[in-house]
Structure 1
Amino acid sequence: MTSNTLRICILENGQTPDDLVGEFGSYPSMIERWIAPFLPEATFTYLSPVRGEALPDPDAFDGYILSGSKYSTYERAPWMLDLIAFLQALKARAIPVFGICFGHQIMADAYGGKTTKASNGWGVGAQHYEYTEGAGPTAAPAYIFHQDQVTTLPPGATCIGGSLHCLNGVISYDFPALSVQYHPEFTAAYIHALATKYRGSLLPETISQGALDSIESLEVDNRQISNWAASFFLEHAQR
């Protein structure tokens, strides 16, 4: 493979808050910054279903990454229904897709599982994730920001990782698809900004404070997830 020949499309399903986007960038730009150093073969294109942009022909790219979102998959907005149909087309063509947070959840929904609001409430901050031996990265903390969880696995899916708060936190499929509930593209600074911004409004005081404490006490290194995701695309993307 020559340089810059792997075409990756990042689908924007949510938007960075207006007052934070200047400092932190869009979610697609965060994702590119996270994975690009481990995938120098790739060029990245951003498309935004949440902004109403049309989804591409599935064969237009070698692989796809789905961003997170403030929305819930069970809202079934028209753009979400289009995305579900698109994900089913990717499965039929064996085109690799990697989902993050909302992306993790809507992939599960598209492939026959179910996402619901979590009975144990918000997960925000840094949490320790464990993986099935040999199936994924080594155990390590990860950044999280979610209120929904995958509660029913799809047929053909295997849970290969999770946390005490989110059991179905990492899912692999019997076709080229992987997804994670956590946010490997987030930084401690961005989690701090979100926990502070939404303290006492979207997030209860105790949740925000717990999040701020967790990012001080747990060291997150997202590079092993970058390497894992990059290897997934290199293995499955059509040359």
Structure 2
Amino acid sequence: MTSKALNICILENGQTPADLADDFGSYPAMIERWIAPFLPEATFTYVSPVQGEALPSPHTYDGYILSGSKYSAYERAPWMLSLMEFLQELKALQIPVFGICFGHQIMADAYGGQTTKAKQGWGVGAQLYEYVNDAGPKAAASYIFHQDQVTTLPPDSVCIGGSSHCRNGVLAYDFPALSVQYHPEFTADYIRALATKFRGSLLPDAVSEGALDSIECLEVDSSQIANWAASFFRKHAQR
């Protein structure tokens, strides 16, 4: 049986640091490289709210993926407020959406939860994520780079996974929405570049050192996350 063609929109909420962009590409490009092999029937379009591009009419696409960002969801910049309204529209129309890092957080805020700066501090590197029963993929290490966390769950959500650093790390909703705090689209080389670039400035030395060590100690394979996300879009996408 041939899967129907899907049109997926990736919303760019943040930009790769300029000095790393040539080597690693944009965040939407990273996301497409990650999921496209597992969703070959999909065509991907990029829209950049963070750069001021207008959000599409919700029905333009079969589903949406929200990228990460250096910004915090609680900043409530105008483009974030528009994005939150857009997410409410997607919920009302039952159009599937998958959030990553900042995407995970802005979805939680849009749907009645709360994101705050984490008391635990920065989470950077590779970390083991575990899932509730069979609600998500098998336990595995994932790459993380975040200082904020979802601290209050939205009323229509359930936490189905997390880590020792981030308890509310994977959320499923009672409408077509999933989100993850980690970055399945990141590679070891990109995390290594970030941990090195921001060492001693954005990141304390100890955090960067721990991140670099974790990359060597924990093997990350994001293919099962890609397969899970692809199955989500196949199940829920509507034209």
Structure 1 match to 2:207: 207
1:20-59 equivalences under 5 Å are 20-59=20-59
> Unpaired segments of 5 or more residues in structure 1?
none
Structure 2 match to 1:152: 152
Give the counterpart letter for 1:170 in structure 2: V
Structure 2 match to 1:139: 139
2:64 is paired with a residue of what secondary structure?
strand
Shift of 1:2: 5.4
2:21 is paired with a residue of what secondary structure?
helix
Shift of 1:140: 0.4
Shift of 1:5: 1.7
2:37 is paired with a residue of what secondary structure?
helix
Matched, 1:181 2:181: yes
In the TM superposition, structure 1's runs of 4+ consecutive aligned residues that sit over 3 Å from their partners are 1-4
Structure 2 match to 1:18: 18
What is the CA–CA distance in structure 1 between the aligned matches of 2:59 and 2:41, rounded to whole Å?
A: 18
What is the CA–CA distance in structure 2 between the aligned matches of 1:155 and 1:128, rounded to whole Å?
A: 26
**CA contact under 8 A between 1:3 and 1:42: conserved in structure 2?**
no
1:1-239 equivalences under 5 Å are 5-239=5-239
Give the counterpart letter for 1:25 in structure 2: G
Cα-Cα RMSD: 0.9
What is the CA–CA distance in structure 2 between the aligned matches of 1:56 and 1:5, rounded to whole Å?
A: 19
What is the CA–CA distance in structure 2 between the aligned matches of 1:230 and 1:5, rounded to whole Å?
A: 13
2:9 is paired with a residue of what secondary structure?
strand
1:99 is paired with a residue of what secondary structure?
strand
**CA contact under 8 A between 1:84 and 1:106: conserved in structure 2?**
yes
Give the counterpart letter for 2:79 in structure 1: W
TM-score (norm 2): 0.99
TM-score (norm 1): 0.99
> Unpaired segments of 5 or more residues in structure 2?
none
What is the CA–CA distance in structure 2 between the aligned matches of 1:147 and 1:18, rounded to whole Å?
A: 21
Shift of 1:214: 0.1
What is the CA–CA distance in structure 2 between the aligned matches of 1:90 and 1:105, rounded to whole Å?
A: 16
Shift of 1:64: 0.1
Shift of 1:53: 0.1
| 1:1-59 CA-partner distances (Å, limit 9, x unpaired) | 85772000000000000000000000000000000000011000000000000000000
What is the CA–CA distance in structure 2 between the aligned matches of 1:222 and 1:204, rounded to whole Å?
A: 27
Q: State how many pairs are aligned.
A: 239
**CA contact under 8 A between 1:3 and 1:40: conserved in structure 2?**
no
What is the CA–CA distance in structure 2 between the aligned matches of 1:212 and 1:126, rounded to whole Å?
A: 9
2:82 is paired with a residue of what secondary structure?
helix
